[in-house]
Structure 1
């Protein structure tokens, strides 16, 4: 016998302000508890089903997918934790969508503000980068370019400093710089006949891990000089820079070594890497004010300081 306090599927739909189709959809997926069946086999629902249906509608208003809602409801007493996880995941998804929209907006502004003859090329350029873009291609570039067998913590630190992340709220200029970075690294092939920018060093007794660890310290010191907009000059950052190269080669820091280092750095300059750092500087620097230092700008500053010192000593 069916109680008079139970509702048919149509009555439940009317109570909840939804369609019968909606109630049947959730019921078929086991999300709504049935209290009984009529003699004719029709579904009957009680107040718990109405409460459950209202909860489902609230969760759907947050755009939570039905499978996720099912997991929350199935969690029972642990539903608070399941709901927290689901909301956190949805927030990440919304954040990614917003980042994509902001990137798309800046890309559209870039194309809109360009001269008509430049627009086709810009469209091809920005269209080749995913929306929102990632930095995996840039990380792969450095993994191929850096010497092999660097210690994992050191490699991670280098990649963190060398690989810029897409700005959360990019300007059109930053969209352009990031797109050009992707094109730049995508065109580099490392083979026997091509140079690896970071590996053009003498092999005899060369210890790359010592070099890169020391360069990290030198670049950090030089960044303070760059932020202070000081010209390249002698000091602790230059000494640290030279010491890194000397220790990596088992050599002593002497005037002769500094002369040789200046000459070697002139020969190992790589236009692809230099372009990479120029674009990275455009990407990470604020629209107005001093440029934000990069590993590349720190290297350029230190190399200029070394050349100045060597020339002064030769007079």
Structure 2
């Protein structure tokens, strides 16, 4: 291919054959990606026939977005007969590209959100979405819950709770989902009234293990209730409610009696709530036009409504009998209090 008597070509000839600029060839040469065969008597670079294939490989790798250091590693590994570095580099680029695409989708949905809203609402919406990165971070939501959870909560229990309580932002959001996430971000970052958030009775368990066991048991009840919510079932007694009540009874070493259930519904109704958080979570995870996806908050409300309906007609004598036994006072559910 090279027509010179020594079988080599100049930097300009190599650039022309590869369809790149002389500046690009010099750049790759200076970084050791394109070894020179020799130098002319005048100090000009000379390249052998293998340089053309190497230059084309470098161009292809760079076109995929690989940085120079990764291209260097891929070429070194290729010469050694390995392809693992190339596979790792491509996988890394795919992850980065996915994140970039998600960011673009969030920006597009945010722009549509501003474009489609009434003029009088644009300033407020700009303020909301301007406070959220693209793609959005769930770190503020996790911090909100970590500050709310009982002190010294076991790490595994905390991680399980956060997985259920912190929604994953959709990769291809609709404008309504962007707005809901922005409002959710504003909700968890707003200053709290008073010196601390109101805490439910569940946080008054001795030590950290009590709430951790309770939350783990409640997660099972919420999952069962979520199935009924997806089916559109009205709150009613059943396996879901039994599991819900048993979570409290087991944690506090009480028997599941009609009186216990009356006390439980009374306490849960009185505990502080964060309904707005769960409403926004449902909007974030539910595409427009679809049925609302269950959340721990909506599952808790379904179970509490079922418990309230079941206990509404119980004989008050059960309460007097239960109070005389000295059973522990029921605690609040983590999904409702904040």
Report the TM range for the smaller structure's normalisation: over 0.9
Cα pair 1:145 1:199 within 8 Å, conserved: no
Shift of 1:74: 2.2
Shift of 1:126: 0.4
* Counterpart for residue 166 of structure 2: 163
TM-score (norm: length of structure 2): 0.86
Shift of 1:143: 1.7
Pair 1:313 & 2:317 matched: no
Shift of 1:43: 1.4
Shift of 1:203: 3.8
Cα pair 2:285 2:293 within 8 Å, conserved: yes
* Counterpart for residue 148 of structure 1: 151
Indicate the SS of the match to 1:44. strand
Indicate the SS of the match to 2:313. helix
* Counterpart for residue 293 of structure 2: 292
Q: Sort the Cα spacing of 1:27 and 1:201 in 2 relative to 1 into closer, same or farther, 3 A.
A: closer
Which residue of 26, 29, 37 corresponds with 1:27? 29
Cα pair 1:8 1:45 within 8 Å, conserved: yes
* Counterpart for residue 329 of structure 2: none
Instruction: List per-residue Cα deviations over 1:110-135 (Å, max 9, x = no partner).
Output: 11111001001100100100011021
* Counterpart for residue 259 of structure 2: 256
Q: Sort the Cα spacing of 1:179 and 1:199 in 2 relative to 1 into closer, same or farther, 3 A.
A: farther
Shift of 1:238: 0.9
Cα pair 2:214 2:247 within 8 Å, conserved: yes
Q: Sort the Cα spacing of 1:19 and 1:79 in 2 relative to 1 into closer, same or farther, 3 A.
A: farther
Shift of 1:109: 0.8
For 2:261 and 2:204, the matched residues in 1 are separated by 16
Cα pair 2:241 2:303 within 8 Å, conserved: yes
Which residue of 177, 181, 184 corresponds with 2:180? 177
Return 5+ residue gaps in structure 1 as ranges: none
* Counterpart for residue 216 of structure 1: 219
Which residue of 215, 232, 235 corresponds with 1:232? 235
For 1:105 and 1:241, the matched residues in 2 are separated by 42
Higher RCO, 1 or 2 (CA under 8 Å, sep at least 6)?
2
* Counterpart for residue 279 of structure 1: 280
For 2:32 and 2:10, the matched residues in 1 are separated by 17
> 1:45-64 to 2 correspondence within 5 Å?
45-64=47-66
Indicate the SS of the match to 2:279. helix
For 2:181 and 2:258, the matched residues in 1 are separated by 41
Shift of 1:189: 4.8
* Counterpart for residue 89 of structure 1: 92
Cα pair 1:144 1:190 within 8 Å, conserved: no
Indicate the SS of the match to 1:139. helix
For 2:225 and 2:135, the matched residues in 1 are separated by 33
* Counterpart for residue 72 of structure 1: 74
For 2:297 and 2:130, the matched residues in 1 are separated by 27
For 2:277 and 2:292, the matched residues in 1 are separated by 15
Higher fraction of helix = 1
Cα pair 1:190 1:196 within 8 Å, conserved: no
TM-score (norm: length of structure 1): 0.92
For 1:303 and 1:165, the matched residues in 2 are separated by 26
Indicate the SS of the match to 2:287. coil
For 1:90 and 1:143, the matched residues in 2 are separated by 33
Shift of 1:152: 3.1
* Counterpart for residue 328 of structure 2: none
